[in-house]
Chain A
Amino acid sequence: MKTKIGQIVNRLLQAIPSIIGIVIISFLLTRSLPGDPAVYFAGAMADEESIQQVRVALGLDKGLIEQFFIYIQNLTQGNLGLSLNTGVSVLEEITTRLPASLELTFIGLGFAILVAIPLGILSATKPGSFIDHFTRVLVTMGVSLPTFFTGLFLIYVFYFLLGVAPSPIGRLDIIYLSPPHVTGFYTIDSLLANDMETFMASVKQLILPSITLGIFALAPIARMTRASMINALSSDYVRTAKANGLPQGMILVTYALRNSLLSILTTLGMVFSFLLGANVLVEKVFSWPGIGSFAIEALVASDYAAVQGFVLTMAMLFVVVNLIIDIVLTLIDPRVSIDN
C-alpha cells in the first residue's frame, strides 16, 4: 500500500511543473495571436485616439513582462480578467460554461462506452464475423464523419423532418428557466430541486448532441477494446483458464476484460480530452452555451483574457484527468502492489 501512496504523491508533484508551464505558455500564446484587440474593441468608427484609449484601458500599452506579472498577480486572486467579447468576467463565464460542456461530454462519452465496449468485446471474441465487420464499418464512419456534419444531419432528420427532437437551441427549450445553480449540470440541479419537468427537458436537449459526440468517440474505444481483448484472449493465462474448464463468461470478464481495462482506461482518458476539443463544433451546431463556443468567439476577437482563461482551464482539466487516470491505474494495476 505504501508504494501506491508514494506513487500517487509522486504523480501529484509531477503535475506542478506542468501547471507552471501552462501559465507561461497560455500567456505567451495569446500575445502572439494575430490581430490587435484594441482596434477590434474600439468599435466600428474608432479613430487613432480612441484606439489608444482602449489600449490603455486594457493595459496593453505596458511592457510584456509587466503585463505578465499583472496577470500572475490577478491569477493568485482568482481573477481571470474580463471577457470583452461577452462583457462578463472570464471566471464567471467558465464556471457557467464548463459544466455545460462537461455534462455534454460525459453523457456523450457514456453513450460511446455503452456502445463501444460491448461491440469491441464481441468482435474480439469472433474476429472476422458479421459483428466484427459491422463494428469496423461503424468505427470508420465515426472517425470519418465530421461532428458538425453528424450534428446537422441528426437535426435535419429528427428535428426538421420528423419533429421528434426538441429544437436545437441549447440546454433548455425557450419555455424553461434554468434550475437553481448548484453543480451547473442542469440534469443534476433540476433533480436536486425536485423539478422533473426541467429534468426531462434538459435530458431531451442532451440526446442529439451527445449522440453526435458519442459517434465520434466510438472509434478509439471500440478499437482499443477489441485489440486488447484479442491480446488478452490469446494470452497464456486465458489459455490456462480455458484448459481448466472455467466458464466462458468468467474467462471473458474476470480474466480477459480485467486485464484489458488498463489500456481501455488510458484510451478513455485520451478520448475524454479530445472530446472536449471536438465539442466546439457540436456546441456551435446545437447552440450549446459551452466553453468551446466561448473560446472560438474569443479567438476571433483576439479576446486575450478569455483565451488565456480558456487555455488555462482546459490545460488544468487535462492535467486533472490524467492525474485521475494515473491514480486509478496505480490503484488497479496488480503489478504495483507486487513488490509490497
Chain B
Amino acid sequence: MERRDFMRVAAAASVLPFLRYLPTEAHAASRDGVLVIVSGHTINSLDLHRQGTNRPSYEVTVNIYDRLVRFGLKTLADGTISYDSTKIEPQIAKSWEFSEDRKSITFKIDERAKFWDGTPVTAHDVKWSFDRAVSLGGFPTVQMKAGSMSDPKQFVVVDDMTFRIDTLIASKLTLPDLAVPIPFIINSKVAKQHATAKDPWATEYLHKTPAGSGPYKIARWDAGQQYVYERNDDYEVGTKPAIKRVIVREVPSASTRRALLERKDADLYTDVPPKDVKEFKEQGKIKVSGAPVDNCLHVLGLNVKYKPFDNKKVRQAIAYALPYKEILSSGAYGRGEVMFGAKETKPSTIKWPQPFPYDTNIEKAKKLLEEAGFKDGFETTLSYNLGMADWEEPTALLIQEALKKIGIKVKLDKIPGANWRTAALVEKRLPMHLENFGGWLNYPDYYFFWAYQYGHLFNSSNYKNEEMETLVEKTLHMEVNNPEYEKLIKQMIEIAFEDVPRIPLYQPYLDAAMQKNVDGYSSWFHRQLDCSTLTKS
C-alpha cells in the first residue's frame, strides 16, 4: 500500500484544486468514510419514472429518494441482514390510518422530512410525485397499478401535512406497494420550475439532476464510468448513513471486479456470480453476504401452446427427469434454495416459493411419457437468454443431457439479451425455455398473478386454467388474515404442483462480496444496494 499512500500525499499537495469531490480523502490521506463499489452495470438515468430507465438505475432511486413508508429489516439465521416483507415502517409518513372500509389510507407527514434544499416535504410534493408515476406510463404506471393506484384523482391533499390515497377496492397490496422503489417523493417546487409545456413532468431535468430528500445525494455522474453518492448530513427521518461518500465505479469485466476486490482496491460489489461466491467462501479473505431472493424462482417453462407440452403427463414426466441436484450444485454452485423433493402432493403451508413434489426419477418419467403416448420421446428446442448465460448455460446443458435419458432430444437455442423479452415474454413463442421471475411484493398470489394468469407478462408458458384464474382474482387483494386466504392459496399451489407449466429449479440467491471491514449489507427484493446501512471500520 505504500505506493497508494505516496500518491495520496502527492495528490493532496499538488492537485488540490482538482479534487473537488474527494476532499476528505486528499486531506486526511486515507479512505476513511469513502466506500468504493465496483459494478458491472451502467446506469442510464437518475430518474426511475423516466421511460427506458434500466434496472441498475433503480439503485440510485433507492438511495437518494424517500418514500412514504419502507420495509423493515430482519436478521436471517445465518446472520445475513434482509428486508422484512411483513414489516412496514414510517419514512416520510410518520403515521397512517385506514378508513373503515379499508379503501382509503390517510398519511401524516413527518415534519422532520426535508428536501436537500431545506424545504419541508409536503402533501403537495407527494401528490405531484404520485401523479407523475401514474401518468408517465411504462413500468412506474404498471407497478402503481399493482397497488390499485392508477388515477391522479385517487391522490388527495387533505392539508399541507396530510395526504390520502383512495382506492376502488380494499387491497392488501396498496401499502406494501408504497414501499417499493417506484412511489418516491420528488421536490415538486424544484421540478415544476424546470417543467415545460412539452415536458410537464420535468423528465429532462430530473433525468440528470435529482431533487429528493433521501439519505444520499448524487455528487457526480459520469455516464458509463462512475457515479458518486454524497451523504445528506441533514437527514432526519431515518438513521443517518455512516459512510460519507460512496463511489460506484463501472467495471464491466467480472474477473477485473474480482481482482479489484482481492487487491483491496474496491470495498464491495454485488451480483457476484455463484462460482466466485463459492471460492470466496473457501478462501475466507473476502466476506460474502446474501439471501435467497423473495418470491423469485428460476424455472424451466413449458409452453402449453406447443405440442406435446399441452399434455400434462409430458410436463410431469419432464419434472421427474430434471437433474435438480446437479443443477443446484454445478449450475448454481450451491447458491440456491431447494425447490424439489416435497413429500406431499398437497401443500401443507402457504409459504412461497416452496418445494414441488418432484424429484429425479427416470423410471417414473419414462412411465409418464409412455402413458402420454411418447414412448420413444420427441424432439424439441430449449431456449435460454444469453444475457443470463451465467446460470442458464450450464443449466441448459444439464437439462439437455438428462432429457436424453427419457428419449427427449433437445436442441439448445441461445437468444441474445435484446431479443429475449420479445421472444419469451411478449410473443411467448418459446416451446421450452429457462425463465426467472421475482415478484416485488412478497405474496404467493402476486407471483401467480404475473406468472400463471393467462396473458400476463411473465406467463411465458401461455398457461390457462379457469380455476387458477378465479383463485388469483379472489386472493390478489384479500387480506392475509382473512380465514379464506390460506385455503385458496393452498389450492392455487396444488394446481401449480399438478399442472407444472413452470418447473421450479431453485430459488436463487443474491450475493454481495465485500472486504471484512464492511458491515451492514442488507439484501433486498429489488436486488439493489441500499447504501444507507453500510458501515466501514
Q: Which residues of A contact B (CB under 8 A)?
A: 33-37, 39-51, 53-54, 57, 83-88, 93, 97, 152, 155-156, 159-160, 163, 167-170, 173-179, 193, 195-198, 201, 284-287, 289, 293-294, 297, 299-302
What is the minimal beta-carbon distance from B345 to any residue of chain A, in angstroms?
32
Q: When the two chains form their complex, are residues B36 and A174 in contact, meaning their CB atoms are under 8 A apart?
A: yes
Q: Is B247 an interface residue when CB atoms closer than 8 A count as contact?
A: yes
Q: Do residues A44 and B139 form an inter-chain contact, with CB atoms below 8 A?
A: yes
Taking a contact as CB atoms under 8 Å apart, the answer to whether A287 and B10 are in contact is no
Contact A86 B223 (CB under 8 A): yes
Given contacts A50-B138, A54-B51, A175-B7, is CB(A87)–CB(B252) below 8 Å? no
What distance in Å separates the Cβ of B37 from its nearest Cβ neighbour in chain A? Answer: 11
A293 to B41, CA, bound (A): 12
A-B residue pairs in contact (CB < 8 Å), sample of 26 = A34-B416, A39-B422, A40-B421, A42-B51, A44-B55, A44-B139, A46-B138, A49-B137, A51-B426, A53-B137, A54-B137, A85-B44, A86-B224, A87-B43, A87-B52, A88-B224, A93-B224, A163-B3, A168-B251, A174-B36, A174-B249, A176-B11, A179-B18, A198-B18, A284-B252, A289-B225
Please tell me if the beta carbons of B51 and A41 are within 8 angstroms of each other in the complex.
yes
- 15 further interface pairs, Cβ-Cβ under 8 Å (given A85-B44, A87-B208): A35-B419, A36-B419, A43-B53, A53-B51, A54-B137, A84-B52, A155-B259, A175-B19, A175-B26, A176-B11, A178-B222, A195-B18, A289-B222, A293-B224, A302-B419
In-complex Cβ contact of B260 among A46, A54, A97, A167 (8 A): A167
Contact B45 A173 (CB under 8 A): no
The closest CB in chain B to the CB of A195 belongs to: B15
Known: A40-B421, A93-B224, A174-B247. A197 touches B14 (CB 8 A): yes
- Chain A's closest residue to B46 (CB) is A87
> Which residue of B has the minimal Cβ distance to A36?
B422
CA distance A152 to B54 in the complex (A): 29
**Chain B neighbourhood of A97, CB < 8 A:** 224
- Name the contact of A177 in the complex, choosing from B14, B18, B38 (C-beta under 8 A): B18
Are A177 and B21 closer than 8 Å at their CB atoms?
A: yes
Q: Is the CB of A34 within 8 A of B418?
A: yes
8 Å CB contact of A87 from B223, B250, B421:
B223
Q: Are B251 and A169 in contact (CB under 8 A)?
A: yes
Bound CA span A289–B226, Å: 10
- Which residues in B have their C-beta under 8 angstroms from that of A88? 223-224
Question: Does residue B373 face the partner (Cβ distance < 8 Å to A)?
Answer: no
User: Complex formed: what's the CA distance from A42 to B222 in Å?
Assistant: 24
- Are A300 and B418 in contact, CB atoms less than 8 angstroms apart? yes
A45 CB contacts on chain B under 8 angstroms: 139, 142-143, 450, 457
Contact B417–A301 (Cβ < 8 Å) = yes
CB–CB A300/B417 < 8 A? yes
Please report the C-alpha to C-alpha distance between residue A301 and residue B54 in the assembled complex, in whole angstroms: 10
User: How distant is B515 from chain A, measured CB to nearest CB, in Å?
Assistant: 14
Task: Indicate whether B141 reaches chain A with its CB closer than 8 angstroms.
Answer: yes
With A170-B225, A175-B22: A50-B421 Cβ-Cβ less than 8 Å? no
CA distance A104 to B434 in the complex (A): 40
The complex places the Cα of A179 from the Cα of B51 at a distance, in Å, of 33
Q: In the assembled complex, which residues on chain B have CB atoms less than 8 Å from the CB atom of A48?
A: 426
Q: Which residues of A lie under 8 Å from residue B53 when comparing CB positions?
A: 43, 87
Tell me how far the C-beta of B497 lies from the nearest C-beta in chain A, rounded to whole angstroms: 26
The interface residues of chain A lying within 8 Å CB-to-CB of B225 are: 170, 289
Chain B interface residue count: which class? 35 or more
Given A93-B223, A287-B251, A294-B224, A301 and B139 contact (CB-CB distance below 8 Å): no
Q: How far is the CB of B528 from chain A (nearest CB, A)?
A: 12
Asked if B198 is at the interface (CB within 8 A of a chain A CB), the reply is no
Q: Name the residue in B25, B45, B225, B251 with the highest tally of chain A Cβ atoms < 10 Å from its Cβ.
A: B225
In the docked arrangement, what's the CA distance between A336 and B219, Å?
59
- B486 part of interface (Cβ distance < 8 Å): no
Q: Give the residue of A39, A49, A289, A293 whose beta carbon is less than 8 angstroms from that of B421.
A: A39
Say yes or no: is B265 at the interface (Cβ < 8 Å to chain A). Answer: yes
Q: Which one of B14, B18, B387 contacts A300 once the chains associate, using CB atoms below 8 Å?
A: B387
**Bound Cα distance A301, B42 (Å):** 12
Chain B 49-75 against A: per-residue CB contact (8 Å), 1 yes, 0 no? 011111101000000000000000000
Instruction: Tell me whether A43 and B18 are in contact in the complex, defined as CB-CB below 8 angstroms, given that A57-B51, A174-B247 are known contacts.
Output: no
Contacts of B421 in A (CB 8 A): 36, 39-40
A175 to B255, CA, bound (A): 22
A93-B223, A197-B11 known; A297 vs B42 contact (CB < 8 Å): yes
How long is the Cα–Cα vector from A289 to B250 in the complex, in angstroms? 9
CA of A88 to CA of B225, assembled, Å:
12
A166 to chain B, nearest CB (A): 8
- Determine which residue in B19, B26, B54 has the highest number of CB atoms from chain A within 10 A of its CB, and name it: B54
Whose C-beta in chain A lies nearest to the C-beta of B22? Answer: A175
**CB-CB < 8 A to B7: which residues of A?**
173, 175, 201
Any chain A CB within 8 A of the CB of B498?
A: no
Most chain B CB within 10 A, of A34, A46, A170, A176, is at A46
Q: State in angstroms the CA–CA spacing of A178 and B260 once bound together.
A: 21
A contact residues around B252 at 8 Å (CB): 284, 287, 293
* B25-43 near A? 1/0 per residue, CB < 8 Å: 1100000000010100011
B142 touches A50 (CB 8 A): yes
Q: Which residue of B lies closest to A52 (CB)?
A: B137
User: Which residues of the other chain, A, contact B536 by a CB distance below 8 angstroms?
Assistant: none
Q: Is the CB of B416 within 8 A of A35?
A: yes
* Residues of chain A contacted by B51 (CB below 8 angstroms): 41-42, 53-54, 57
Known contacts A53-B137, A85-B42; A302 and B15 CB within 8 A of each other: no
One of A50, A159, A168, A175 near B25 (C-beta < 8 A): A175
Chain B neighbourhood of A36, CB < 8 A: 418-419, 421-422, 426
Tell me the complex Cα distance, A160–B450, Å.
45
Closest 7 CB pairs of A and B: A35-B418, A43-B139, A87-B44, A41-B52, A302-B418, A53-B137, A35-B419
For A289, what are the chain B residues with a Cβ–Cβ distance below 8 Å?
A: 222, 224-225, 250
Q: Which residues of A contact B11 (CB under 8 A)?
A: 175-176, 197
